[in-house]
Chain A
């Protein structure tokens, strides 16, 4: 184990009522970086986080956080951790300010320190003018910002975020991303799950792509993209039979048909664009391959409910 690792998981297993949701998962999380768990619904991302948080006990394997073993040290570990749950669970009986004060009391933060930190956090998350509102009167984006502010109340070293921006509008997502990057620049370690590939590409230094309770791939986002997919893809919609006929003879082009779209993965779009552009009944989109292409290649295109 490197002494810079903040989380070390070795062959972690988790079983719920005979259903194996995590199978021999091993990984290390380095201090000061942003790590992302990616995967379809039911891949085991949230379960992994709950094990790290010491909230859910592992069924097998070894787990150390802050060099303390789990289960057994949940209290100490959570004292230095900030947790943003998937679904906001703000206290509806309390105002924004009271929510932060009550949450601070759970960490036994001295009043003077707490009040000063609350002012800073309200400012940081741009909620200073909503302190007297109850959560029900806040927008989805404000609730999320309050939940993140709440998770920072104990000035945590490790911040664990389960789908931090799901369901939020682009303005709020960009704001949250910039705040998370600011936290990283302060030396915090971030651990997040997401369904958004752009979020993972933008924020994460290191990715774990998960499916069916196992880690399929790990690495830096750009490296993972290079390793698994071609640099470019041309998407064609319309008369797919004609399009397929036109490009299938071109070398080093990988074709995949999904629904009404033909995906032509290639090293350079110039090799196939001229061929397709001659065809009247086809709409074309040429773009760089991204993490979503890797993700769908690795986890398949079947729906997960």
Chain B
């Protein structure tokens, strides 16, 4: 029997062991983590929400603060999963050799990666809920249906964790991540409708951003935060799930190729 790098990923409860390891490390650094998760949205919502909001007024019958808060919840899921999937995964995979230590036990690569995806989703959820709390306190959230963002944030994080981990496996050092953040993450942050509705962009550009997952994540989260009717839910979910499945598979294959030689 030969080892196959391309076999379907194995998913088992062993993933939760890796997830728990990451949770335990996170709890050791809870102070700076909370400062980041609550501090960043506070600054964005105060600064841009009130500052820029005074000029912009309402967008599509919702306050700019609400518009921005919903965009930030989606983009924070992207940012959290992207940072965790690149810098943290690379640290554990290469300089810290944590994966090598774990692979000397019954745990296998597939379990590690499943655990990392779970953890990326969990961390994004912390961040998303922190923004939700801050936005609620600023009266930017309408209605209790907002809590339904939880599965959307989890799905979004899983969607962005995959490409980030793939980038980590291709990297020889931290500087390499500049490519990914400059060419993929930042463009999505700026272009996908976090700060302004994509309908104001030229037609061609609107088609382009429809391909990007952050657009669909925002389209799902924004009506839940503002209490407006949702549209094209199936399409948006399909795009996020398709990206998630594809990159989950590619991420597992790439990490196998890097760790199992």
Per the 8 Å Cβ criterion, residues 166-202 of B in contact with A are none
Per the 8 Å Cβ criterion, residues 1-33 of B in contact with A are 1-3, 17, 20-21, 24-25, 28
**Contact partners of B17 in chain A: CB under 8 A:** 105-106, 108
A102 on the B face (CB < 8 A): yes
**Shortest distance in angstroms between A159's beta carbon and chain B's nearest beta carbon?**
12
How many residue pairs, one in A and one in B, have C-beta atoms under 8 Å apart? 65
**Shortest distance in angstroms between A53's beta carbon and chain B's nearest beta carbon?**
7
Say whether, besides A53-B104, A94-B24, A105-B17, A72 and B1 are in contact (CB < 8 Å). yes
Which of A78-86, A181-189, A205-213, A244-252 makes up part of the contact surface? A78-86
Map CB proximity to A onto B227-261 as digits: 1 under 8 Å, 0 otherwise: 00000000000000000000000000000000011
- Decide if B104 touches A71 in the complex (CB within 8 Å): no
Say whether, besides A74-B108, A75-B106, A102 and B1 are in contact (CB < 8 Å). no
**Contact partners of B96 in chain A: CB under 8 A:** 89, 91-92
The closest CB in chain B to the CB of A147 belongs to: B101
From B25, B28, B104, contact of A55 by CB (8 A):
B104
Q: Please classify the interface of chain A as helix (H, G, I), strand (E, B), loop, or mixed, using the class held by over half of its residues.
A: loop
**Shortest distance in angstroms between B7's beta carbon and chain A's nearest beta carbon?**
11
**Contact partners of B20 in chain A: CB under 8 A:** 105
The closest CB in chain A to the CB of B99 belongs to: A89
**Contact partners of B101 in chain A: CB under 8 A:** 85, 89-91, 103
**Contact partners of A90 in chain B: CB under 8 A:** 101
B98 on the A face (CB < 8 A): yes
**Contact partners of A107 in chain B: CB under 8 A:** 105-106
Per the 8 Å Cβ criterion, residues 24-74 of B in contact with A are 24-25, 28
Knowing that A91-B21, A102-B24 are A-B contacts, what are 19 other residue pairs whose CB atoms are under 8 Å apart, sorted by A's residue number?
A55-B104, A69-B1, A74-B106, A76-B106, A78-B105, A79-B105, A83-B104, A85-B97, A85-B100, A89-B101, A91-B98, A91-B101, A92-B96, A93-B28, A98-B24, A102-B21, A105-B21, A106-B17, A151-B104
